[in-house]
């Protein structure tokens, strides 16, 4: 892991330099709120909205406390609220009162479009240079080259299978789609509308004439094909999961034998007869971003938090606790499980289609068609489940 | 002085005292329960901005029309209704003999033990009980282990699992009113019936059943209405099954579409009102 992460570090530094030049050029961007030009004194408090396990002050597990260090160093007292779904977070952000939010890609664009978060001047963050280059300024954390936050951690929605039941070892998602009838009743899938993108990733490879170039930018024909594939799959699905403890149990008891998973689930299955693979078609995944609310009352403390959480050691602790790859290249010096999460493996990361909010304006850049937006995805998902 | 005058004015007026005592809780019930429910239902006629998820006060019947005409909602409504009726039927069929035994056959000492045994599951958390059923029904669970030697197998996660779990969950709510109903049937009526030459079955149908019918109806209202609104048990042991509660939940939690969720919630409310109207016609409510 040493040498690739160093290369990535160097690449990251170069990119940060290029980026800061670009940021200077676009400082007069037309977005609703502008990024801070400089930092002032910290305000004494900061309110954070994040996924569970992202802001730990030792009250859940005394061994995991990275909030106290921040409070001691900056004098910003942290209050945090965990949320359960991206949609819940969106509602909380609308109500206001939070300075910082950790958002997945299926939330970020909505926050930006709703003008609820402001651009982030990454020059003001010392640790931003250490972030993996391939996570910076992507379609889920930037608009027109303007950064809206700091990447936190990422992971892929992998294919998990029971090594006793599923032989030979699968290399393709076809075991949960075209060949799912072999495992009727033992197939499992992630219970969220965003799972439609998994079907789109599969179709991208197996039905190239549909012309899908991005699983989150589906026009009506492409969308219908993905929905049809999932309706076919449903007849062989034993259950859908959204609670990861439920999936761990289902694989341990043998109720589920093949389906989507997270690396942390594979790490938690105790029976030892499961394996995970990143199939040849690629996979969907998530990359979370720390963002700053546009109506933040404590922008200086917010910047301080964004910088602090990108510190290699803090980033390592926080992402290890959650079970995902860190965003900071040097974080692997503080973690011994980076290999399992393929941290910094750019080739691996390139196969991941990170969750992005599907909106009617196609995120793949097409302008001649209208894409299906997330509310339609939700309706279709209910119909797929029947 | 003024406090004396006030108390002097109120003391002889008992109706005023009662009004003063009750107005606060009634106001509270009205505001928190009725008004909140009405506000929720009004939302069904509003719209939602698809990008921002904000509820907008633009009057439309689109949500209600979609719920009434959509094939998805028809299928799910029928499935929910079928499961609720089946659960009610199973619970009543199990509860009547158990309640009869408790009220009429068991010794007073055993009766106390049985009442405690029936109520004991209510002390455990709902989630604990449902997750226990998940373990029981799993592919290497106890049901599989017991049934395999007889050529059977666990039904796995799905509609049968939901019916079993819900029947278990609501059984105490059905047994208790029927037990109370049996308790009110005087033993001498059973003896009189026997003296007049009626066999056991005839006594049951002609004498006991009319007397405990209101109790059975009361129990069935519990089992039916609780099943109609359940979504957690379905999520845990239902496999891919969706009930109305799950649709409401996804529309609130994942889709951020409160108006559609409110429109869907009109369906169980309508079904319960119809059920209560049907029950009223039998006259069972009057003797409750």
Using alpha carbons, select from A113, A99, A89 the residue that is nearest to residue A32: A113
- Which domain range does residue B179 map to? 72-282
Report residue B198 as tokens: 């009626």
Q: With cut-offs at 50, 70 and 90, classify the pLDDT of residue B6.
A: confident
Is there a single domain that holds both residue B116 and residue B24? no
Q: Are residues B118 and B231 in the same domain?
A: yes
What does the angle CA A43 – CA A48 – CA A52 come to, to the nearest 5 degrees? 155
Look at A11-25, A35-49, A112-126, B41-55 and tell me which has the smallest mean pLDDT.
A11-25
A38 touches chain B (CB under 8 A): no
CA dihedral angle for residue A363, residue A367, residue A370, residue A376, rounded to 10 degrees: 10
Per the domain annotation, does B250 fall within a domain? yes
Q: At the topology level of CATH, where does A158-261+359-385 sit?
A: D-Maltodextrin-Binding Protein; domain 2 (3.40.190)
pLDDT tens per residue across span A302-359: 999 999 999 999 999 999 888 889 998 888 888 888 888 888 888 888 888 988 888 8
Look at residue B96 in the predicted model and tell me its pLDDT.
93
B128 touches chain A (CB under 8 A): no
Question: What is the distance, to the nearest Å, from the Cα of residue A270 to the centroid of all Cα atoms in its chain?
Answer: 26
A231 touches chain B (CB under 8 A): no
Mean pLDDT across the stretch B7-30? 82
Question: Does an H or E element contain A48, and which?
Answer: strand A45-50
DSSP state, residue B268:
H
Closest CB to A91: pick one of B141, B238, B256: B256
A16, A10 contact by CB (below 8 A): no
B17 is a domain residue: yes
- The number of beta carbons lying within 10 Å of the beta carbon of residue A264 is 15
B51 inside domain: no
Q: Report the share of chain B in percent with pLDDT over 70.
A: 95
More confident residue, A202 or B200: A202
Domain co-membership, B191 together with B265: yes
Q: What is the pLDDT of residue A20?
A: 40
Q: How many domains does the structure of chain B reveal?
A: 2
B148: Cβ contacts below 8 Å, ≥ 6 apart: none
Q: Using CB atoms, pick whichever of B75, B141, B240 lies closest to residue A239.
A: B240
Q: Which of A254, A378, A386 sits opposite B255 (nearest CB)?
A: A378
- A113 touching B (Cβ < 8 Å): yes
- The answer to whether residue B244 sits within a structural domain is yes
Chain centre distance of CA B186: 29
pLDDT bucket at A25, cuts 50 / 70 / 90: very low
User: Is B287 part of any domain?
Assistant: no
Residue B57 lies in a domain: no
Same domain, B19 and B82: no
Averaged pLDDT, B184-208: 87
Rounded mean pLDDT of chain A? 85
Q: Which two tokens stand for residue A84?
A: 């359960």
Chain B residues with beta carbon closer than 8 angstroms to that of A255: 138-139, 156-157
B94 shares a domain with B32? no
Residues of A in contact with B139 (CB under 8 A): 253-255
Q: Which residues of A touch B134 (CB under 8 A)?
A: 249
pLDDT at B287 > cutoff 60: no
- Mean per-residue pLDDT over chain B, rounded: 88
**B133 has a chain A CB within 8 A of its CB:** no
User: The whole model's pTM is what?
Assistant: 0.78
> Can you give the CATH number for the domain in which B221 is found?
1.10.3720.10
Q: Are residues B131 and B18 in the same domain?
A: no
CB contact under 8 A, A238 and B240: yes
Q: What are the strands, taking DSSP E only, across chain B?
A: 47-48, 55-56
Interface test with A, best of B71, B79, B139, B245 (most A CBs within 10 A): B139
- Looking at the structure, tell me whether residues B148 and B186 fall in a common domain: yes
The H or E element spanning position B265 is: helix B258-282
What SS3 state is found at A145? Answer: coil
A184 burial via Cβ count (<10 Å: 0-12, 13-18, 19+) = exposed
Residue A168: asked if its preceding bond is cis (omega within 30°), the reply is yes
Average pLDDT for residues A214-234, to the nearest whole number? Answer: 94
Residue corresponding to tokens 């068991």: B106
Residues of B in contact with A109 (CB under 8 A): none
Interchain contact, A375 vs B50, CB within 8 Å: yes
* Averaged pLDDT for residues A218-229: 95
Give contacts of A246 with chain B, Cβ < 8 Å. Answer: 236
User: Domain check: are B143 and B191 in the same one?
Assistant: yes
Percent of chain A with pLDDT over 70: 91
Domains A2-155+286-352 and A158-261+359-385 share a fold: yes
Q: Flag if B253 and A253 touch (Cβ within 8 Å).
A: no
ipTM of the complex: 0.76
Residues B37 and B159 in one domain: no
What are φ and ψ of residue A289, in 5° steps? -130, 135
| Residue B267 and residue B223 share a domain | yes
Render pLDDT for B221-235 as a digit per residue (tens, 0 to 9). 999 999 998 999 998
For residue A185, give the nearest of A257, A241, A261 by alpha carbon: A257
Q: Give the angle B249-B255-B257 at the CA atoms, nearest 5°.
A: 85
| B137 shares its domain with B77 | yes
In tens, the pLDDT along B91-120 reads 999 999 999 999 988 999 999 999 999 999
pLDDT at A33: 63
Which architecture, in CATH terms, is A2-155+286-352?
3-Layer(aba) Sandwich (3.40)
Chain B nearest-CA residue for A361: B51
pLDDT digits (tens, 9 = 90+) for A270-313: 888 999 999 999 999 988 999 999 999 999 999 999 999 999 99
Please state, in angstroms and as integers, the Cα–Cα distance from residue B42 to each residue in A137, A220, B29, following that order: 43, 33, 19
For residue B281, the SS3 value is helix
Q: How far apart are CA A137 and CA A57, in angstroms?
A: 30
Q: Where do the structural domains in chain A lie, given as residue ranges? A: 2-155+286-352, 158-261+359-385
Share of chain B above pLDDT 90, in %: 43
Over the stretch A34-50, which tens digit does the pLDDT of each residue have? 777 778 888 889 999 99
CA angle at A137 for the pair A131 and A143, rounded to the nearest 5°: 150
DSSP string, A54-87: SS-BSSS-TT-B-HHHHHHHH--EEEEEE-SSHH
Pairing of strands A142-143, A146-147: antiparallel
B139 and B262 inside one domain: yes
């Amino acid at each position: 892991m040493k040498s690739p992460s160093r290369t990535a570090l160097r690449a990251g530094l170069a990119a940060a330099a290029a980026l800061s030049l670009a940021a200077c050029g676009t400082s007069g961007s037309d977005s609703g709120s502008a990024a801070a030009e400089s930092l002032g004194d910290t305000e004494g408090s900061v309110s954070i909205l994040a996924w569970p396990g992202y802001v730990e002050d030792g009250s859940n597990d005394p061994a995991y406390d990275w909030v106290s260090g921040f409070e001691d160093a900056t004098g910003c007292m942290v209050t945090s609220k965990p949320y359960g779904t991206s949609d819940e977070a969106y509602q909380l952000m609308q109500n206001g009162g939070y300075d910082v939010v950790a958002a997945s890609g299926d939330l970020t664009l909505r926050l930006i479009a709703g003008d609820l978060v402001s651009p982030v001047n990454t020059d003001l963050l010392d640790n931003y240079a250490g972030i993996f280059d391939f996570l910076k300024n992507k379609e889920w954390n930037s608009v027109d080259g303007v950064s809206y936050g700091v990447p936190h951690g990422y992971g892929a929605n992998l294919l998990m299978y029971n090594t006793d039941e599923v032989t030979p070892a699968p290399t393709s998602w076809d075991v949960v789609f075209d060949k799912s009838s072999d495992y009727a009743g033992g197939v499992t899938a992630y219970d969220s509308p965003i799972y439609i993108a998994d079907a789109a990733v599969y179709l991208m490879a197996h039905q190239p004439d549909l012309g899908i170039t991005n699983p989150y930018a589906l026009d009506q024909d492409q969308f219908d094909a993905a929905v049809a594939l999932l309706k076919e799959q449903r007849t062989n699905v034993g259950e859908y999961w959204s609670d990861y403890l439920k999936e761990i149990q289902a694989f341990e008891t043998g109720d589920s034998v093949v389906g989507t998973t997270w690396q942390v689930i594979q790490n938690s299955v105790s029976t030892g007869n499961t394996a995970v693979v990143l199939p040849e078609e690629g996979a969907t995944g998530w990359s979370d971003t720390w963002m700053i609310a546009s109506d933040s009352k404590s922008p200086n403390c917010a910047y301080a938090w964004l910088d602090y959480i990108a510190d290699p050691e803090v980033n390592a602790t926080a992402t290890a606790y959650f079970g995902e790859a860190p965003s900071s290249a040097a974080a692997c010096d503080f973690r011994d499980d980076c290999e399992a999460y393929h941290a910094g493996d750019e080739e691996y990361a390139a196969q991941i289609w990170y969750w992005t909010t599907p909106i009617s304006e196609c995120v793949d850049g097409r302008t001649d068609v209208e894409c299906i937006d997330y509310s339609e995805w939700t309706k279709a998902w209910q119909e797929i489940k029947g | 002085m003024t406090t004396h005058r006030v108390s002097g004015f109120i003391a002889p007026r008992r109706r005023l005292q009662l009004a003063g005592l009750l107005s606060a809780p009634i106001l509270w019930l009205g505001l928190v329960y009725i008004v909140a429910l009405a506000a929720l239902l009004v939302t069904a006629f509003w719209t939602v901005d698809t990008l921002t998820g904000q509820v907008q006060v633009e009057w439309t019947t689109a949500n209600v029309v979609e719920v009434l005409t959509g094939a998805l909602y028809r299928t799910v409504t029928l499935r929910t209704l079928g499961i609720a009726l089946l659960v009610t039927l199973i619970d009543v069929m199990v509860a009547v003999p158990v309640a009869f035994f408790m009220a009429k056959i068991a010794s007073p000492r055993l009766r106390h033990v049985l009442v405690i045994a029936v109520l004991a599951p209510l002390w455990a958390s709902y989630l604990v009980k449902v997750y226990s059923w998940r373990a029981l029904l799993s592919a290497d669970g106890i049901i599989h282990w017991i049934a395999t030697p007889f050529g059977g197998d666990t039904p796995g996660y799905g509609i049968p699992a939901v019916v079993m779990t819900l029947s278990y969950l609501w059984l105490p709510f059905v047994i208790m009113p029927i037990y109370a109903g049996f308790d009110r049937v005087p033993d001498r009526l059973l003896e009189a019936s026997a003296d007049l030459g009626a066999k056991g079955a005839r006594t049951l149908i002609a004498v006991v059943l009319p007397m405990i019918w209101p109790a059975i109806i009361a129990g069935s209202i519990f089992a039916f209405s609780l099943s109609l609104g359940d979504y957690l048990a379905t999520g845990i042991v239902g496999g891919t099954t969706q009930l109305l509660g799950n649709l409401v939940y996804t529309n609130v939690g994942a889709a951020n579409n409160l108006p559609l969720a409110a429109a869907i919630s009109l369906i169980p409310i309508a079904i319960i009102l119809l059920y209560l109207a049907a029950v009223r016609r039998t006259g069972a409510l009057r003797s409750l």
